[in-house]
Amino acid sequence: MTVFDLTPPTDAQRETLIAGLSEEERRVLLHHGTEAPFCGVFLDNKLDGVYTCRLCGLPLFRSSAKFDSGTGWPSFFQPVDEAHVGRIRDSSYGMIRTEIVCARCQSHLGHVFPDGPPPTGERHCLNSVSLAFTPNGDALPDPLHRGGTEAQPAG
């Protein structure tokens, strides 16, 4: 069970958050784009911490679940909490894949594939521009101003 408030942002909050995005972040997060492989800022990040949604700040993946998939995008074998990552059938580009989105704000994160390492066998392949990173020990972002009641997830 999640301890994070998954209530979507209000329309006004969403507009404010979107106003702070770069053109590339808008293309990926809002229009289901994909950044070029091997160029994302988090591909080679080895720091310990939590990856959060770039738009709403929801914790998505721990650095301890990150692995080098060789695909050119940051890859994780499991989310912080399954409730934080939505899954949508994606039949674009003549193939069937599973898109992953932030469960709170519905921002596009990437895709999940059934070829990852144990224990899940999954590879959550993410766009770096869909993410923000919080080092262990630092406060998580609170762009929705939910009162600081959310803390870094244990683990």
39 labeled binding residue: no
Tell me the C-alpha distance between 86 and 110, whole Å: 11
CA dihedral 70, 124, 108, 51 (to 10 degrees): -90
Spot the catalytic one: 100, 112, 125, 126: 125
Answer yes or no: 125 catalytic. yes
Burial per residue of 2-35, b for 16 or more beta-carbon CB atoms within 10 angstroms, e otherwise: bebeeeebeeeebeebbeebeeebebbbbebeeb
Distance CA 77, CA 116 (A): 6
Cα(151)–Cα(138) distance, integer angstroms: 10
Structure tokens at 91: 């039949």
- Residue 56 labelled as part of a binding site: yes
**Residue ranges at the known binding site:** 53, 56, 102, 105
- Catalytic amino acids? 125
**Residue ranges at the known binding site for Zn(2+):** 53, 56, 102, 105
